[in-house]
Structure 1
Amino acid sequence: MSKPVFFVTCPKGVEYLLADELATFGLATVRNAPAGVWVEGPLEAGYRACLWSRLANRVILHLDEVDATSGDQLYDGVVHMDWQQHIPVHGSFRVTFLGQNEAIRNTQFGAQRVKDGIVDRFRAGGGPRPSVAAKDPDIVVSARLNRGRLALGIDLSGHSLHMRGYRTDKGIAPLKENLAAALLMRAGWPEIAANGGDFIDPMCGSGTLVIEAAMMALDLAPGRKQERFGFEQWPGHQPELWLSLRQEAERRAHEAKQRRIPRFAGFDQDSRVVATAWKNIQRAGLEGIVHVEARPVADLKLDGEWSDHGLVLTNPPYGERLSERKELGGLYQTLGEAVKRATPGWRLGVFTGAPEFGRSIGLRSFKQYRLFNGKLPAQLLLFEIDETSSMTPRQPAAPGEVAPRIANEERAAMLRNRLKKNLKTIGQWARKQGIGCYRLYDADMPEFALAIDVYEGRIHVQEYAAPKSVDERAARERLAEALAVIPEVLGIDPDEMVCKQRQRQTGTSQYEKQGVSGEFFNVHEHGGVLKVNLKDYLDTGLFLDHRPVRHWIQQHAAHKRFLNLFCYTGAATVHAVVGGASRSLSLDMSKTYVAWAQDNLALNGAEPSKHRVEQADCLAWLADRKTADQRFDLIFMDPPTFSNSARMAGVLDIQKDHPDMVRQAMARLSSDGLLIFSNNFRRFRLEEDLENEFEVTEVTRDTLDKDFQRNARIHRCWHIRHKV
């Protein structure tokens, strides 16, 4: 009888480490795959992987592989499999689907076809069939499509194994638990701990690294505290075997406590994340073993008795934005000075997305491992903290500190000429229209991937993150040239120019501060006054591309009740007020932007009793029956493309959620009112049923002024009315 085959998934870059770990459980490698390993071995070894793997995400018992060049072919392969062996008749199941091809372009469609095949297989027998459950199913069926073949299996883990159960509270940018374990293994922590070494994380955040280090040294199974695994309702489950493995894990945990327990400490300058770390430590059952406290890196010192060797491992800030990166050189240098003073003879590991700052530590790295933190490329740099490894710290030219310099006069002349041309066309148009805030340049030339915006004499420059094909040094050189050319052509003081790096934002990141300058100033647009800040946030407080939309609202708002959903800083409401709106309600979930919107309305003389701004989750507000009787004559809804903010009750996906959002908004619209619906998702498609239910007109072309006509995909916009 052939051995069972498993596909075990993991973070990208961890595949070879995972293969070595699985071998210790009795699983032989069949082949490696991107972000996973195919292995074979007895069911007991699969159980061990679920309970003991520190690196895996999921353990999938492979069942079969079928042809799937079309949806019908996929269905035919699924429906002929014997699913009664793997899904209880009176139980429930869910299908997870990954991959796509020309015929199956949507994972939801692929999952539906697999589900249909399974259900029809049960129906063919004439008996009852299992139910489909989106949440907490008894069985999770894994379907993975690759090159026209669909691999089908049972997810024995049932959930991602990186979730150990101790981290319900997170820091600002937490490492996943299995990635933290991979860093510890690469840094040699198991050997260091076995030889009597101790562990410190001087920038511990919510404590993931120090907790994982303790669990590893104390031989605690990562899945020891999990209440439920995916195989427990599987018909092939062997309860006695599983019970024996759980008992073995408890015995090993007890025996490990009889040996020397290393010292574990985590420090962080932010007392709030230290409080979070304490909660995580308690949930992990490591009170009295792991110690954390609020302490800056510069004050690192060892109190009490510590080993003369050990591991310092940390995950400092990456400085993903230009405004942050200029601070990193000093932080890394401080880290180097602190560990050389406090932990000589130890090993240092630094996991960073900005490896160039490793030179600021003042130690020579003896090993570098390329990994990924989510989708972000990163490196683990390893150093021995001793005199032979010491070097003079070198400060790299961080992008935020790029000195204006022209290295290639011919290339700089291209940008200079383009800016002059745009000043003659766009700049002259803006002056004639009385527009003081506009986009002058938007990556017109591939050599200079920048957006340059004018804010009444001040300049806001956004550097788009360069693709991997562009050398980082070349990108910095071009930025240096742009910083030299822009003030020259525009005739401004360089201090009036702010430069940032633009990257995709999700969740609450769009609301987070980039700096603390507090430099707000007022600008003017079509008779309205608006407060902006070029330095402290990713965005400035004013979306320039929506200028025509705001102007249209102003021209049509007289005597109307106005609703602004996802209101940001309330600029559209300001224009409604200036245009004579009788009442308005503006909603946003960010306290920062609610306060900003209130300030903007006050600047324009709006009465707070008539023009209210409230903090609210717009999805929840739209779905709330208590608000359903409110009516508005004009509604503006410009949601983000995606948001998984902790402030929200759910997750917002504009493509999936927009039909319900539009219908709920229309339910609050007066019979002769208008909904202006806009978003900036480049691949967005409006649901066809909405066009059958309502009078829908796309007005995108009319909502793009001259400064954004080169970037016609910056947003899309519709006017939606009730049918007469």
Structure 2
Amino acid sequence: METYEFYARCASGFEALLATELKNLKAQRVRPLKGGVAFFGTVREAYRACLWSRVASRVLLVLARVDASDAEALYAGAKALDWTEHVGEGATIAVYAHGMNDNLRNTQFTAVKVKDAVCDALREARGARPDVRSKRPDVAIDVAVRGEKATISLDLSGEPLHRRGYRTDGVQTEAPLKETLAAGIVLAAGWERTARVCGTFIDPMCGSGTLVIEAAMIAADRAPGIMRDYWGFSGWALHDEDLWDALIDEADDRLAAGLESMPRLVGTDVDEKSVQIARENAKRAGLARYVDFRGGDAAQMGEILADGATGATDAPGLVAVNPPYGSRLSSEAQLPGVYAALAQGVSAVPDGWTLAVITPDATIDTALGLVPRETLGLYNGPLAADLRIYETAPSARIELKVVSLAGDERYVTVAEPTSDQFIARFRKVAKERTKWARKNGISCYRLYDADLPDFAVAVDLYETAGPSVVDAVEQACGKARRGVGENSTSIGGGASSAGERYVHISEYEAPPTVDAERAQRRFRDALAIVPTVLGLDPSHVFSKTRRRDKGGGQYRDARGRSHIVCTEESGYRFEVDLGGYLDTGIFLDHRKTRELVGSLAKGARFLNLFAYTGTASVHAAGGGAVSTVTVDLSQTYLSWAERNMRLNGFKGRNHTYVRADVLRWISEERASKRRYDLIFVDPPTFSNSKSMGKETWSVQRDHAELVIGVSRLLAQGGRAVFSCNLRSFKPDTEKLERYGVHLTDISAETIPEDFARNPKIHKCYLVERVAAGSGVSGD
């Protein structure tokens, strides 16, 4: 037989699995590539790949690589091929294109150009154009454009190979796994070896049963393509029907032998409708008598193992599961319960078993108390996910005792054994800090700030200030909250009571010397430990990570919904957003700085630059400022600032809000006669926003110009408070003094006690205008 070049496509992440399959099918010169595997072989190897590959999505016969620098070159290259060698007499065709370049930007246009070339070539050779059929053509032609070349191939599979024939469209569960993905999962987890020794297979969240059925097909040595009634080679001029029939007969014989010794295969689901769909799928696959689908919770795996059903053995088995996430959950709050049930079930699994989980959510490691022995990045539809494979031995499960501040004892599963150090340190610091806060009447404060280098997280506690948070804010504003949008919610449905506690945990970026995977596990462990120590419901814990987990984290809404509560500081109420993508709305390390602003504000005309959510404006107004001007570039922050002001009863003409680039606004304001007795300015450390009026902004490089401009807005005897969060910041005092600006470093006096172990958290200076240096204009 003649040898051809082929290319088998597969889901990203399964290239190595597919290469192994093709080698076992006697393919030659197998070469894994991104998104597929190239190989050579005869028609027999191509047919075997179509019939037997469990993870390939398509099998293509490569005809040629042609010039695709423009449409005419592509047409000429496609027409030059001898299509009579491949398109049988009377066969229908269809052309599918993907990929683009500068001159071929529309895949439909590309497909039409190649279709015209094929039809014109066959008309010249045979006197008649072939008919075009978009669905299930006799010959499917694939065009892949990459750079200035196009690879033209015949799609021998015709339709995606995941269409095994046992699922019925429209009657499946929501977001079922593709059959090829399910097969890849169980193959990657070693199911072929486990099945050979009759180990048990369990999917405790089986949905429509795809994982179980694919595992059964592997155990039965059943060709995944044996039920398909359509192939893209049916109208291929070189199709060998006798060879194909012989391969089908061989597959039938192998299936008959495989069904004689089947292992036990069980799928359970809490949804009876899903269980029924799974049973119908197994029936269509001809495997209903070999698989057991039943209603039940993932926590009941121990009962499955203990029931002594036919097919059970002492051989190690495999648990494979696709837990619900994203659209399959009506609420993100359900996820901890799902994981808890799975963890309970897995804890009953004997030594030697394997657990395979496909999920975008790496927090599952902590929930299970296991560290994966390997992970494989892949996609479940459009969703990036990982296949996480664990050893399930009870001895591998990490459970640590946690004593809450109230004295209650609980065991928490974690992924890192060193998390016991975090438990001890966090409990000690949290106990001291809550006592300090209670004594000083502080409602929002930092509990922990990377006290242990290996657990580089910040933990902030917010205590609510009163009932009906959203109603209070909206009533204070006299209008709907702007800048938050339809996705806003308040904790407790808008009726948080005074004294409720919430925690926000943020992650510091780990240095390159720290293993990224371990850093993530430690962060996720902290998310589980903190609420247990504090005695909080996990739904009251929100997080912000430097590296977004696929699909979002366990404790925050994956859709980025706002969670609004009101907290209190120095007798003032502030709106904070714990769940949104923006910061919470109050910089806790500036507590003393804001108090300083309030103490200086009596009778002052106050200006707040880079105002953020206006917390300093509230303190100034409360301290007796006769007027406040709040300036920020963000309308979201300005609206938030106005809500904070009104929430504390500060409204009217004396309080104005200006949306503007602060640097440009300062320049324009200097030309006016308006001057201010007290100014607070807290610029960003860095910005590349074009709206800032500069190509880039750097507080270290550009602060002198800013501070000089601010000083020119001070009334005689006026003062400004300048703050920044660049820890290495050094003011250019020489330049400032030349321009008549004197800075007094008051950083030490403005660091709150809960930030005392990190005195470089911010820099703060008192700015005063003095006589300018010799020869320098004073304005």
Alignment TM-score > 0.5, same fold: yes
SS of the counterpart of 1:251?
helix
CA separation in 1, counterparts of 2:93 and 2:276?
Answer: 39
- The 8 Å contact of residues 369 and 414 in structure 2, kept in 1 or not, is answered as no
State the 1:87 CA deviation. Answer: 1.3
Quote how far apart the aligned CAs of 1:228 are.
2.1
Does residue 1:224 correspond to 2:267, yes or no? no
Instruction: Measure how far apart 1:43 and its partner are.
Output: 1.1
2:221 touches 2:254 (CA, 8 Å); kept in 1?
yes
Q: Which among 373, 377, 380 is matched to residue 373 of structure 1?
A: 380
Change over 3 Å in CA distance of 1:212–1:16 after alignment to 2: same
Task: Please say if 1:440 is aligned against 2:498.
Answer: no
Report deviation, 1:371: 1.9
Q: Partner residue of 2:179? A: 177
Deviation of 1:478 (Å): 13
How much has 1:124 moved relative to structure 2?
2.5
Match of 1:307 among 291, 307, 313: 313
Q: Which residue of 2 aligns with 1:241?
A: 243
Q: What do residues 625-677 of structure 1 show as CA deviations (whole Å, max 9, x unaligned)?
A: xxxxxxxxxxxxxxxxxxxxxxxxxxxxxxxxxxxxxxxxxxxxxxxxxxxxx
1:412-561 matches, within 5 Å, as 436-437=479-480, 439-441=482-484, 471=548, 487=566
Structure-1 separation of matches of 2:115 and 2:546: 41
User: 2:209, 2:554 → 1: CA distance?
Assistant: 38
Q: Which amino acid aligns with 1:394?
A: T
Give per-residue Cα distances to partners, 1:380-399, cap 9 Å, x unaligned.
22222223312114379xxx
SS at match of 2:75: helix
Counterpart amino acid of residue 340 in structure 2: Q
Give me the whole-angstrom Cα distance separating, in 1, the residues matched to 2:327 and 2:573.
28
Change beyond 3 A, Cα 1:468–1:391: closer
Provide the C-alpha distance between the structure 2 equivalents of 1:394 and 1:241, rounded to a whole number of angstroms. 56
Contact between 2:335 and 2:554, CA under 8 Å: does it hold in 1?
no
C-alpha displacement at 1:33, in angstroms? 2.6
CA distance in 1, matches of 2:477, 2:108: 46
Contact in 1 for aligned 2:354/2:391 (Cα 8 Å) = yes
- Find the residue that maps to 1:170 and give its secondary structure: coil
CA shift for structure 1 position 120: 1.2
Larger radius of gyration: 2
> 1:251 aligned to 2:253?
yes
Amino acid at match of 1:312: V
Q: How does 1:91-490 map to 2 (within 5 A)?
A: 91-125=91-125, 127-168=127-168, 169-258=171-260, 260-300=261-301, 301-302=303-304, 303-305=307-309, 306-308=312-314, 309-319=316-326, 324-392=331-399, 393-394=412-413, 436-437=479-480, 439-441=482-484, 471=548, 487=566
Distance 2:150 2:545 in 1: 31
Identity %: 36
Aligned-partner Cα distance in 2 for 1:54–1:467: 39
Number of residues of Structure 1 aligned to a counterpart in Structure 2:
465
Q: Secondary structure at the match of 1:131?
A: coil
- Counterpart residue number, 2:407: none
Report the alpha carbon displacement of residue 190 of structure 1 after superposing the two structures with TM: 0.4
Q: Give 1:63-82 correspondences, 5 Å limit.
A: 63-82=63-82
Question: In terms of mean alpha carbon deviation, does 104-113 or 293-302 score higher?
Answer: 293-302
Is 2:361–2:554's contact at 8 Å kept on the other side of the alignment?
A: no
1:370 is displaced (CA, Å) by: 2.0
Q: Taking structure 1 as reference, are residues 225 and 322 closer, same or farther at Cα in structure 2, changes over 3 Å only?
A: closer
Distance 1:484 1:99 in 2: 42
CA–CA distance in structure 2, aligned partners of residues 429 and 340 of structure 1? 52
Kept in 1: contact 2:322–2:358 (CA 8 A) = yes
1:52 CA displacement = 0.5
Mapped to 1, the partners of 2:280 and 2:444 lie a distance apart of 47
Give the CA deviation at 1:25. Answer: 1.0
Q: Using a 3 Å threshold, how does the CA distance of structure 1 residues 429 and 90 change in structure 2: closer, same or farther? A: farther
Change (3 A) 1:321 1:240: closer
Superposed, which structure 2 residues align to 1:571-720 within 5 Å? none
Q: Distance in 1 between matches of 2:3 and 2:544?
A: 44
- Give the Cα separation in 1 of the matches to 2:277 and 2:137: 31
1:146-180, Cα deviation, whole Å (9 max, x unpaired): 11110001111111001100011321221110111
CA deviation string 1:609-639 (max 9, x = no partner): xxxxxxxxxxxxxxxxxxxxxxxxxxxxxxx
Contact persistence 1:206–1:273 (CA under 8 A): yes
Change (3 A) 1:77 1:313: same
* Distance change (3 Å), C-alpha of 1:66 and 1:261: same
Q: Structure 1 residue 100: deviation in Å? A: 0.6
Change (3 A) 1:340 1:489: closer
CA deviations 1:112-160 (Å, max 9, x no partner) are 1111111111232361120111122111001111111100011111110
Specify the SS of the correspondent of 1:257. helix
The one-character-per-residue Cα deviations of 1:450-471 (angstroms, maximum 9, x if unpaired) are 97699xx969xxxxxx999954
Instruction: Report the alpha carbon displacement of residue 345 of structure 1 after superposing the two structures with TM.
Output: 4.1
Post-superposition shift, 1:326?
Answer: 3.2
Shift of the alpha carbon at 1:437? 4.2
Unaligned runs of 5+ in 2: 400-411, 416-442, 450-457, 460-469, 496-542, 583-779
The alpha-carbon distance between structure 1 residues 428 and 171, as it changes in their structure 2 partners (threshold 3 A), is closer
Measured at CA, do residues 100 and 315 of structure 1 come closer, stay the same or move farther in structure 2, by a change above 3 Å? same
For 2:347 and 2:106, the matched residues in 1 are separated by 53
RMSD of aligned residue pairs (Cα, Å)? 4.1
The question of whether the paired residues in 2 share the 8 Å contact of 1:323 and 1:500 is answered with no
SS at match of 2:88: coil
Asked whether the equivalents of residues 349 and 393 of structure 2 are also in contact (C-alpha less than 8 Å), the reply is no
Does the C-alpha gap of structure 1 residues 270 and 492 become closer, same or farther in structure 2, counting only changes over 3 Å?
A: farther
Q: Which string of whole-angstrom CA distances, capped at 9 and with x for unpartnered residues, describes residues 526-557 of structure 1?
A: xxxxxxxxxxxxxxxxxxxxxxxxxxxxxxxx
Superposed displacement of residue 336, structure 1:
2.1
Question: Could you say what secondary structure the match of 2:413 adopts?
Answer: coil
CA distance in 1, matches of 2:580, 2:330: 6
* SS of residue matched to 2:222: coil
Q: Secondary structure at the match of 1:246?
A: helix
Question: Which amino acid letter does the alignment assign opposite residue 222 of structure 2?
Answer: L
CA contact 1:187–1:349 (8 Å) conserved in 2: yes
- For 1:61, the equivalent position in structure 2 comes to 61
Unaligned runs of 5+ in 1: 397-402, 413-422, 443-449, 460-465, 503-724
CA deviation after TM superposition for structure 1 residue 331, in Å: 2.3
AA aligned opposite 1:200 = I
- Residue identity in the other structure for 1:365: P
Q: Is the 8 A contact 1:355 1:378 kept in 2?
A: no
CA contact under 8 A between 2:13 and 2:376: conserved in structure 1? no
Deviations 1:232-284 (A, max 9, x none): 221110111111100000010111123x2101110000001001001101000
- Superposed CA offset, 1:548-598 (max 9, x none): xxxxxxxxxxxxxxxxxxxxxxxxxxxxxxxxxxxxxxxxxxxxxxxxxxx
CA distance in structure 2 between the aligned counterparts of 1:81 and 1:229, rounded to whole angstroms: 23
Residues in 2 aligned to 1:162 and 1:36: alpha-carbon distance in whole angstroms: 15
Structure 1 position 287, deviation (Å):
1.7
Shift in Å at residue 487 of structure 1? 3.7
Q: Note closer, same or farther for the CA distance 1:257–1:478 as it changes in structure 2 (3 Å cut).
A: closer
The answer on whether the counterparts of 2:321 and 2:357 sit within 8 Å (CA) in structure 1 is yes
Equivalent residues of 1:322, 1:500 under 8 A apart: no
Secondary structure, in 3 states, of the residue corresponding to 1:394?
strand
Instruction: Supply the distance in 2 between the matched residues of 1:364 and 1:287 (Cα, whole angstroms).
Output: 35
CA shift in 2, pair 1:453/1:468, >3 Å: closer
Q: Give how far 1:342 is off.
A: 5.0
Decide whether the 8 Å contact of 2:226 with 2:251 is kept in 1: yes
Tell me the distance in 2 between the aligned counterparts of 1:180 and 1:325.
Answer: 24
Instruction: Report the Cα offset of residue 343 of structure 1.
Output: 4.4
CA offsets 1:467-512 (integer angstroms, 9 cap, x no match): 9995459x98998999798745999898x9895899xxxxxxxxxx
3-state SS of the aligned residue for 2:56? coil
